[in-house]
Amino acid sequence: MLISQKPANGTKMNLTLIDTSVWIEYFRGNSQIIITIHWLLDNNLAVTAFPVRMELLIGARNQERKSITEAFGGLLFCDIQKSAWEIAEKWIIILREKGITPSLIDVLLVAVAKENLYSFWTLDKDFEPMFKYCKVQKFDSLKISA
């Protein structure tokens, strides 16, 4: 299902955009990641974007691609609007001025999360400067496991 609307009147949607690094651990069988993703899915709080799915498919072995496609079948997909690209462009300049060269896909995903008021869940330390300088809400899996 594709979602493209922003929350009305600035109301926070409690959705979480799950990064590729988290999905890799999910498919590797990391039990804590599996539990947390299933909790998000059961509560309709998980969202993804096509670049995440594409990154997974690029890195997958032939026999893994079917399970990836099936796992993403029922997920909410966020539409990447022009405004998210514009946010990403602004942040790339900010990060480059700090001496940081981010991945285009990483900055775009964080911009999508910020624009739609999603939290962003990643295990990749490369995102830390974006959390610091771009003020994106980082998903804390410990809050739901308590």
Residue 87 belongs to domain with CATH number: 3.40.50.1010
Q: Which DSSP symbol is given to 81?
A: -
The pLDDT assigned to 120 comes to 95
pLDDT at 37: 93
The structure's pTM equals 0.84
Give the residue numbers spanning the domain of 139: 2-145
Q: Which two tokens stand for residue 87?
A: 């946010």
Question: In 6-138, which residue ranges form alpha helices assigned H by DSSP?
Answer: 20-28, 31-42, 50-59, 62-72, 82-97, 104-115, 128-134
Q: pLDDT in tens for each of the 146 residues of the chain?
A: 444 344 444 444 479 999 999 999 999 999 999 999 999 998 889 999 999 999 999 998 888 888 888 888 888 898 899 999 999 999 999 999 999 999 999 999 999 999 999 999 999 999 999 999 888 889 987 666 54
pLDDT of residue 5: 40
Q: Is 107 helix (H, G, I), strand (E, B) or coil?
A: helix
- What total of structural domains would you count in the chain? 1
Nearest to 116 by CA among 14, 2, 41: 14
> How many beta carbons lie within 10 A of that of residue 139, not counting itself?
23
Q: How far apart are CA 139 and CA 118, in angstroms?
A: 9
pLDDT for position 135? 86
End-to-end CA distance of the chain: 30
